[in-house]
A and B are shown apart, each in its own frame.
Chain A
Amino acid sequence: AQSVTQLDSHVSVSEGTPVLLRCNYSSSYSPSLFWYVQHPNKGLQLLLKYTSAATLVKGINGFEAEFKKSETSFHLTKPSAHMSDAAEYFCVVSTGGFKTIFGAGTRLFVKA
């Protein structure tokens, strides 16, 4: 069985401060892991993905995530938040080619 848990439903940061969105997963197989972003009234867009290559993955707009197998985590980080980062973020796990599960989402608020 597989599952994904986003540990925070809401995260609020000030502009220019670091961002940390937490994601834990469970999977019986070697997973592929993704982070997608959903801006209001816009479609889902891929930020980054992990597919068993480098454990530190760099994505678009300065985001990166580190795959930690021992902790079954795939946390998303960004050194400095921008107002345009305010959105809903989803952690996604896919295994065996068949099962894709989205987390419940974390809404990121960025204060000026």
Chain B
Amino acid sequence: EAGVAQSPRYKIIEKRQSVAFWCNPISGHATLYWYQQILGQGPKLLIQFQNNGVVDDSQLPKDRFSAERLKGVDSTLKIQPAKLEDSAVYLCASSPGLAGGRNGYEQYFGPGTRLTVT
């Protein structure tokens, strides 16, 4: 079974530029997550999709970050314009269903995209 794919793996941009990350989840997984992991911290959930609908984006800085999941499969996370504090690893994860509740589905993580903003 293929895992969660992310690209690019590394990206260096200057502040105020824009950047986009792509994620291809495991086939058949309904739930897709984007996390931001700043060095030395735990991942912070930015947005969670159930199929192609957003179920939680409460921690997404909507003035500069946007995300979409077209057709309930692949997803793209965009930052425009980038700030120095956006330097982090951006992780994509997927699961068959929601992580909470009685089923408690495991999340499968991609390798991440390391973003450096200079």
Contacts and interface: CB of A to CB of B under 8 A. Distances in A.
Main secondary structure, interface of B, reads loop
B100 A32 contact: yes
A50 interface: yes
Interface in B53-71: 55-56
A29 B42 CA distance: 22
A77 B6 CA distance: 32
A51 B33 contact: no
A102 B42 contact: yes
Given A102-B43, A102-B44, A95 B100 contact: yes
Nearest to B50: A97
**What is the size category of the interface that chain A forms with chain B?**
20 to 34
Most buried by A among B43, B91, B98, B102: B43
Interface residues of B, number: 26
Contacts of B110: 43
B56 A99 contact: yes
B99 A94 contact: yes
B75 interface: no
Contact of A100 (B48, B102, B111): B48
9 contacts: A29-B100, A43-B3, A44-B93, A97-B99, A99-B56, A99-B100, A100-B45, A104-B41, A105-B41
Interface of A: 29, 31-32, 34, 43-46, 49-52, 90, 92, 94-105
Interface of B: 3, 33, 35, 41-45, 48, 55-56, 91, 93, 98-104, 106-107, 109-112
